[in-house]
Chains A and B, each alone.
Chain A
Amino acid sequence: MRFVDEFRDPALAAALIREIGTICATLGRAKDDPVTVMEVCGGHTHAIFRYGLEGLLPDLIEFVHGPGCPVCVLPMGRVDDCVAIAERPEVIFATFGDAMRVPGSRKSLLQAKADGADVRMVYSPLDALELARRNPDREVVFFGLGFETTMPSTALTVQRAARERITNFSLFCNHITIIPTLRALLEQPDFGIDGFIGPGHVSMVIGTAPYRFIAEEFRKPLVVAGFEPIDLLQSLLMILRQMAAGEARIENQYARVVPERGNPSALRAVEEVYEPRPTFEWRGLGSIERSGVRLREPYAAFDAERRFAVPDVKVADPAACRCGEVLTGAVKPWACPVFGTTCTPEMPLGALMVSSEGACAAYYQYGGLRGAA
């Protein structure tokens, strides 16, 4: 747990916390009815825990850790598909390190590698493309996952492969988009979130306009935030100020990195390469309409799902696992019967335990073990 005086600007942090307390007191909320703010992005979840922000804020404020960790929401069936592709003898399966330990129903990619599959951890999709250049007699498949932040990178890599006429490279596309998912959450009948801390780096790509419906249709504030503790405190204050004034708007606290209109080159690549899938499955959340993308027809040759027979089997999460309820803020991780026992960061049963951006891993690591966070 950190203390205010360790922050880069302790005086500013202390002032923000005081101001948050003052405004919070005017909202007339009780302890059993706290102001709930969902941070959508897993990077924010990680920072909130790392800096012990919850402990510094009034009890009347509660963070709910949203679905913004792409590794956490990857369904088990898709991991099984990865393993099936990786186990083909002609394939070099390239992936970000984060995805290696996500449990599938048979095994994780790490276990597949131990069993002899040629799974390589890469830093960038460009590295996967380089593997394809260097191994013309093998099929290199890159596991594309992530929200709008990573989507342009894989799109630009596929375009590069097309330009260079590389024929042994393909993308197993599991990219997901945050907007339909936020809508699906908001449309849940008992979704009691008061406001949102919007993702910083997704917004760097998409800008702030796509969030407008949250304010206009659902009357909830959203503030796009940076990753410093001060950024998070400031964003929280901006949300509370809107609430106090009875307003709901989309604001941008992270304007130093996030342009209102996003990044046009990145958006162009995304638009050219991908189209929405009618529906996509999320771990713990079920199927959400138009929440995933696949490669458009002109790039079909680079689509691993078309190139290989991907089993595409839907696999239910383990019965004990409550990932879905944790992801939507319905319960805290310690309410899950396997939390910290059969599900730990070393041996994760659910995906929220895998990445440091997952709520369960954060609770486990930073001591929210017994419900006393």
Chain B
Amino acid sequence: MCLGIPGRIVAIADEDAMLAVVDVSGVRRTVDVVCVAQEGEPLEALIGVWVLVHVGFAMSRIDEEEAAATLKVLAEIGEMEGELDAMRTGSVAPLAPAN
């Protein structure tokens, strides 16, 4: 629950509501991006950015290398499937891509 998982922002779901679509190892879901958005910058600028996703919220921007390393650690310690499963089965919000 506390580790979070890296994902890449692939689309903006709702600009006013600060929601974006993130791809986490092939699973897509809508996440809140308030904590990684920069003031005065359009949300569009987040597309392509890697973030650490924690219970449906993008909590920190990370670089691609860090994302790869984190995914590897999560896979090794056996947390990856758990996170993705929770995301798939525990998600009520739409998982579908916005594009």
A, B from the same assembly: yes
Q: Would you list which residues of chain B between 12 and 52 have a CB under 8 Å from chain A?
A: 17, 29-32, 34-35, 37, 52
Q: Are A47 and B34 in contact (CB under 8 A)?
A: no
B81 CB-CB contact with A under 8 Å? no
Q: Are B59 and A204 in contact (CB under 8 A)?
A: yes
Q: Which residue of A lies closest to B91 (CB)?
A: A123
Give A251-263 as 1s and 0s: 1 = Cβ < 8 Å from B's Cβ atoms. Answer: 0000011000001
B55 CB-CB contact with A under 8 Å? yes
Given A123-B86, A131-B92, verify A201-B55 contact (CB < 8 Å). Answer: no
Q: Are A96 and B55 in contact (CB under 8 A)?
A: yes
Min CB–CB distance B74 → chain A (angstroms): 8
Q: Are B55 and A227 in contact (CB under 8 A)?
A: no
Give the CA-CA distance A50 to B79 in the complex, in Å.
11
Q: Are B60 and A204 in contact (CB under 8 A)?
A: yes
Interface core residue of B32, B59, B78 (most chain A CB under 10 Å) = B59
Contact of A150 among B2, B30, B62, B89 (CB under 8 A): B2
Interfacial chain B residues near A265, Cβ < 8 Å: 34-35, 37
Min CB–CB distance A330 → chain B (angstroms): 24
Contact of A153 among B29, B52, B56, B60 (CB under 8 A): B56
Give the CA-CA distance A69 to B2 in the complex, in Å.
8
Given A121-B90, A130-B92, verify A201-B4 contact (CB < 8 Å). Answer: yes
Min CB–CB distance B90 → chain A (angstroms): 4
Given A146-B2, A156-B32, A201-B3, verify A127-B57 contact (CB < 8 Å). Answer: no
Give the CA-CA distance A98 to B2 in the complex, in Å.
10
A80 CB-CB contact with B under 8 Å? no
Q: Which residue of A lies closest to B57 (CB)?
A: A153
| Size of interface on A: residues with Cβ below 8 Å to B | 50
Q: Would you list which residues of chain A between 1 and 55 have a CB under 8 Å from chain B?
A: 8, 41-43, 46-47, 50-51
Given A153-B55, A201-B59, A263-B60, verify A42-B34 contact (CB < 8 Å). Answer: no
A266 CB-CB contact with B under 8 Å? yes
Give A126-154 as 1s and 0s: 1 = Cβ < 8 Å from B's Cβ atoms. Answer: 11101100100000000000110110110
Q: Are A127 and B59 in contact (CB under 8 A)?
A: no
Q: Are A50 and B76 in contact (CB under 8 A)?
A: yes
A321 CB-CB contact with B under 8 Å? no
Q: Which residue of B lies closest to A258 (CB)?
A: B60
Q: Are A123 and B90 in contact (CB under 8 A)?
A: yes
Q: Are B77 and A121 in contact (CB under 8 A)?
A: no
Give B60-89 as 1s and 0s: 1 = Cβ < 8 Å from A's Cβ atoms. Answer: 101100100110110011110000001101
Give the CA-CA distance A63 to B93 in the complex, in Å.
40
Interfacial chain A residues near B92, Cβ < 8 Å: 122, 127-128, 130-131, 134
Q: Are A125 and B55 in contact (CB under 8 A)?
A: yes
Give the CA-CA distance A201 to B73 in the complex, in Å.
15
Q: Are A97 and B90 in contact (CB under 8 A)?
A: yes
Contact of A42 among B2, B57, B59, B72 (CB under 8 A): B2
B96 CB-CB contact with A under 8 Å? no
Min CB–CB distance A315 → chain B (angstroms): 23
Q: Are A263 and B35 in contact (CB under 8 A)?
A: yes
Interfacial chain A residues near B57, Cβ < 8 Å: 124, 126, 152-153, 156
A158 CB-CB contact with B under 8 Å? no
Q: Are B52 and A126 in contact (CB under 8 A)?
A: no
Q: Would you list which residues of chain A between 183 and 206 have a CB under 8 Å from chain B?
A: 199, 201-202, 204-205
Contact of B91 among A51, A127, A160 (CB under 8 A): A127
12 contacts between A and B (CB under 8 A): A8-B69, A42-B2, A47-B73, A70-B2, A96-B1, A124-B93, A126-B30, A131-B92, A149-B59, A153-B54, A256-B63, A355-B1
- Seed contacts A153-B56, A256-B62, A263-B59; 5 additional CB < 8 Å A-B pairs: A97-B90, A128-B92, A153-B57, A257-B52, A355-B1
Across the A-B interface, the 10 shortest Cβ-Cβ residue pairs: A124-B56, A123-B90, A127-B92, A130-B92, A50-B77, A123-B86, A153-B57, A126-B56, A265-B35, A124-B55
